[in-house]
């Protein structure tokens, strides 16, 4: 699937990541959009553990805010629906991974998984985050198959993957030096909705249904929505920019490799408004 990949990325590591993270379930509760409580359950023990509860969660004013929750079962990655849907999801996942980690443009779409981290390692990617504050001296630039970046994402991924936010906040390089962790971080990013966005997984398997506001902004189920979720600010609502068309090319490539098609893929996001 990735003939020019860096030797760091192995099929065995990918399968191990899928298998191990598949033992984890989450319940993500929110008050409005920014106050979280996250409960993590290891299926092997069946024991739920609250790994994150924001300081304001039980405040009287917060309890009056709109409440929502989502259940996430990482074991449904590319396995939730029928074989055709599952293959389309895998093609979409691989397409975005390949674009994020490619080196070169020869038109053959064989150059993904060539980078373990972004080239500009001087970019610190630090933002204010009460739940996941940065660790002094650590940089949170893009690492892994989907280029996990920013301390908030590293901390959240660490809570979900390990049940301990400090693992990746203290050692973000794990995402670029441990291939199993790298793939787990990518699957986390793919399957975990953030703020107003659905997860790419829910989009590709048909769980996400656009609301009136989404329809007005031309957000439709299909591959194009995964681009919007991952890099919409840069690649969506800007016409046929390279990043978007490259992801689409990879998607069609992996569909062919997996022996399926997606004729009504809604692949483009050229006229789709990104999320703020």
pLDDT of residue 124: 86
pLDDT of residue 104: 73
Domain ranges of the chain: 23-76, 78-113+196-276
Sign for the CA dihedral angle at 152, 40, 180, 99 comes to negative
pLDDT of residue 126: 97
List per-residue pLDDT tens for the chain, 276 residues long. 999 999 999 999 999 999 999 999 999 999 998 999 999 999 999 999 999 999 999 999 999 999 999 999 999 999 999 999 999 999 999 999 999 999 877 788 999 999 999 999 998 899 999 999 999 999 999 999 999 999 999 999 999 999 999 999 999 999 999 999 999 999 999 999 998 999 999 999 999 999 999 999 999 999 999 999 999 999 999 999 999 999 999 999 999 999 999 999 999 999 999 998
pLDDT of residue 123: 87
Residues 219 and 236: their CA atoms lie apart, in Å, by 10
As a CATH number, domain 78-113+196-276 is 1.10.530.10
CB atoms within 10 A of CB 1: 17
pLDDT of residue 103: 87
Which one of 32, 55, 59, 100 is the catalytic residue? 100
What is the tens place of the pLDDT at every residue in 74-87? 999 999 999 999 99
- Give strand pairing partners of 30: 36, 68
Q: Is 29 annotated as catalytic? A: no
CB atoms within 10 A of CB 84: 13
Q: CA dist 138 to 60, 118, 149, 160, Å? A: 36, 15, 12, 20
The gap between the terminal CA atoms of the chain, to the nearest Å, is 34
CB distance 98 to 109 below 8 Å: yes
Name the CA dihedral angle for 10, 194, 200, 219, rounded to a multiple of 10 degrees. -150
Is the full-model pTM beyond 0.85?
Answer: yes
CB atoms within 10 A of CB 144: 29
pLDDT of residue 276: 80
Dihedrals phi, psi of 224, to nearest 5 degrees = -60, -30
The percent of residues in the chain predicted with pLDDT above 70, rounded, is 100
Q: Exposed, middle or buried by CB within 10 Å (0-12, 13-18, 19+), for 199?
A: buried
What is the tens place of the pLDDT at every residue in 193-216? 998 999 999 999 999 999 999 999
What is the tens place of the pLDDT at every residue in 25-66? 999 999 998 999 999 999 999 999 999 999 999 999 999 999
């Amino acid at each position: 699937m990735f003939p020019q990949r860096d030797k760091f990325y192995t099929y065995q590591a990918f399968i191990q990541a899928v298998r191990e993270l598949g033992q984890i379930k989450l319940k993500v509760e929110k008050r409005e959009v920014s106050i979280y409580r996250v409960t993590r359950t290891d299926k092997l023990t069946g024991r739920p553990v609250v790994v994150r509860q924001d300081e304001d969660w039980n405040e009287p004013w917060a309890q009056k805010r709109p409440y929502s929750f989502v259940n996430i079962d990482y074991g449904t990655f590319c396995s939730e629906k029928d074989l055709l849907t599952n293959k389309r999801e895998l093609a979409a996942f691989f397409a975005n991974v390949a674009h994020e980690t490619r080196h070169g443009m020869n038109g053959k779409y064989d150059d993904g998984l060539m980078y373990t981290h972004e080239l500009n390692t001087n970019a610190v990617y630090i933002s204010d985050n009460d739940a996941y504050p940065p660790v002094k001296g650590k940089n949170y630039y893009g690492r892994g198959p989907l280029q996990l970046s920013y301390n908030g994402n590293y901390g959240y991924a660490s809570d979900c993957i390990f049940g301990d936010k400090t693992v990746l906040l203290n050692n973000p390089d794990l995402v670029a030096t441990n291939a199993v962790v790298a793939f787990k971080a990518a699957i986390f990013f793919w399957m975990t909705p953030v703020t107003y966005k659905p997860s790419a997984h829910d989009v590709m398997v048909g769980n996400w249904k656009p609301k009136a506001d989404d329809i007005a902004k031309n957000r439709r189920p299909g591959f194009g929505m995964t681009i919007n979720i991952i890099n919409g600010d840069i690649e969506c609502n800007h016409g046929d920019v390279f990043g978007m068309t490259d992801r689409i090319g990879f998607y069609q490539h992996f569909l062919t490799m997996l022996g399926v098609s997606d004729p009504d893929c809604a692949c483009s996001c050229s006229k789709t408004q990104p999320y703020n």
